[in-house]
Amino acid sequence: MPVVDLNADVGEDAADPAEEAELVGIVSSVNVSGGAHAGSPQSIYAAVSAAVAAGTVIGAHPSYPDRPGFGRRPFPMDREALARSVVQQISVVGVAAEKAGGVLRYVKPHGALYHEACTRPDAARLVADAARECGIGVLLLAAGAPVLAGGAALGVDIATEAFADRAYRADGTLVSRDQDGAVLDDEADVVRQALSVVLDGRAPATDGAWVELSASSLCLHGDTPGARALARAVRRALEDAGVQVEPFAS
């Protein structure tokens, strides 16, 4: 039986709290904002509390400290200061999780930091070192990321993810969010892409080609319009297809 994790970015104050709590209960893992790109102590604690109540695995989602840019734009910053910020963000989620009766299991960087960690060994090292400093030994990065070839040198385990709600280019990179069609919000399109990745190991590219992907997790962004309904539809479609949805980290 095929097995896959379903993850979502939460704790960003991007959705109604009740709707986000429902989303947390649909997926199997959540990437909780550390407060640098979005969110607040209240939204972070609400997210981890909902995860504990639902039995959903908790991950930290650190970013560049760039709230105006939602952590998604290039952000020149001293590397030592960034490392301290990433450690602090992971710790914020870890402390909140412990307070709620849960445990932090993994780290997935956000936005521009995620892109850098997937493509630049120095950025991957920075995030991995921060995770290890906080006692976390698992990173979640993009399937097919260039840094995966040297991942063993990072000293952490690496799980891979593909995106159910983002469009791919033929080279396996994501279409930039400033371009039309970068975010998939049509339920049929999102479900079709999720099933293709899990069952066939590939996703359609915008030019009609196929991108080969091997991923242990599927991501749905919490700020995508209709995220809760999309997550419910994807999970139902996966289970109807005989796929077992369970966390990649435990």
Q: What is the pLDDT of residue 64?
A: 98
Q: What is the pLDDT of residue 39?
A: 97
Q: What is the pLDDT of residue 250?
A: 82
Helix (H, G, I), strand (E, B) or coil at 15: coil
Kindly write down the DSSP assignment for every residue of 27-72, as one continuous string. Answer: SSEEEEE-SSSS--HHHHHHHHHHHHHHT-EEEEE---S-TTTTT-
> Structure pTM?
0.96
When pLDDT is cut at 50, 70 and 90, the band that residue 224 belongs to is confident
Let me know if 232 is exposed, middle or buried by CB neighbors in 10 A (0-12, 13-18, 19+). middle
Domains of the chain, residue spans: 3-245
On average, the pLDDT of the chain sits at: 96
Work out the number of other CB atoms within 10 angstroms of the CB of residue 199.
14
Q: What is the pLDDT of residue 33?
A: 98
Q: What is the pLDDT of residue 152?
A: 86
Residues 93-132: tens digit of each pLDDT: 999 999 999 999 999 999 999 999 999 999 999 999 999 9
Q: Does domain 3-245 have CATH number 3.20.20.370?
A: yes
pLDDT (mean) for 221-227: 85
